[in-house]
Structure 1
Amino acid sequence: MTREFSGLSAVVTGGGSGIGLAAARLLADRGASVACLDLDPAGVPADLLGLRCDVTDAVSVTEAVATAADRLGGLDILVNNAGTGAQGTIEANPDDEWHRVLDVNVLGVVRVSRAALPHLRASSAAAIVNTCSIVATTGLPNRALYSATKGAVQALTLAMAADHVDEGIRVNCVNPGTVDTPWVRRLLDSADDPAGELAALRARQPIRRLVSAAEVAAAIAYLASPLAAATTGTVLAVDGGMHGLRLPPAGPGPGRRDG
């Protein structure tokens, strides 16, 4: 495994589990010093710095980022991964739910990035990677609110990349498909037919399975890496082919393929 992050420091929000923890673990394995910011950092391994942070609270964000930069000796990489989900059409979620999810998924990126920028400007390898979603570019049913927030994150990523390119700060985002995370598993467990729902999630991705957190982490590590110094303003899909491929459904029959 390469050690291209040796001597660099990274902050990962939502780093207590799922994609965030997988990304933090991979960055550390490749040499970075890593702080995981999370509402509940209890699951952060001892070799990583776990800090409590509420991305909807500006004071909490400012204090957590400052502590991380102090403890790690600076800040070179920010992974904005903290987020929350929502289901339903535009009729399903009341205004306060729209405000709550937008506050986490969009303004959370703004608050953490704003707190990190003074530290990133001092780095010669500064990079921000935002965790977005395939729903930013592909319409899925019953995801109106979530899609709106992730569309905003993708647009914000490109705007940030333009704003900070002259400062030497690269900004990119990764767009996962449906990822096998604790959050997705909780959604499945609450469904009337968990096995059927899981089969449907697998079937809608051309690779016919869920994306793994490790696969998304690998994409995050690439975008954050000094080896990708010419990559900014890029949207990297890790979606099992959902965005670009149109394949016949799995199963027997003319024009179909084996599942």
Structure 2
Amino acid sequence: MYLFLGNLSCLETSFTSTILPRVLASLLTGDRNISVTGCITQFHFLGLFLGVECYLLALMSYDLAICKPLHYTGLMNSKICLQLAAVSWMSGFMIITIVTCLMSQLHFCGPNEINHFLCDFTPVIKLSCTDTSLITLVTFILSSIYTLPLFLLTLASYICIISTILRIPSTTGRRKAFSTCSSHLIVVTIYYGTLIIVYMFPDTDTLRDLNKVFSLFYTVLTPLVNPLIYSLRNKEVKVALRKVISNVWSL
């Protein structure tokens, strides 16, 4: 779990660094210009980190769902964890590279104003003056393959976790476990739900403005809340954090 938490921490630090500095610079300076190359590059890293996080959240929920301690070391040893983490990064990279290559072949000769605060898929391809049916179809298929199965795997894992919690004889133990589990599940549902709406639902006038709000959920809210849920609620992390703070103050 700590290996996956380390990957998630690195991932979300990179994720927010891809988007928020550019947004803050635009708000402070008023300069909202970005080149086509810069826009496609931002989209590439945005898609990469989104895809990897989908995979990591599913792996972490599966890791939590192994409710038989004697089987745990056989199912999730260090080698398997490293391989799963590597597969999540490689699969995310391969999928977004396909979409980015198709996007780089588009021609942009018409309107040059993106109706969004970041270079997301739909706002960018709407500016193209060439046929976008192929890239739209490919992106829909890849999003369906990558998002829905992982979301269903995550839900199945949490069903196993909840069924195990219900068998805990202590009321206090059940309450504490439900508190942590429900927080995980709420954030994961918000993350997958907003991604499915933004990338798989048809682009309509009603959803166009809502998609900006939904984008805030997976670009800002989830990276903000995940450290609180996965780390700061952990006693060992709290102790380590107190030691770091006390060492800093002692200097």
Same fold per TM (> 0.5)? Answer: no
Q: Which has the higher helix share?
A: 2
Using the size of structure 2 for normalisation, the TM-score is 0.28
Which structure has greater strand proportion? 1
Give the TM-score of the pair, scaled to structure 1: 0.27
More contact order relative to length (CA 8 Å, sep ≥ 6):
2
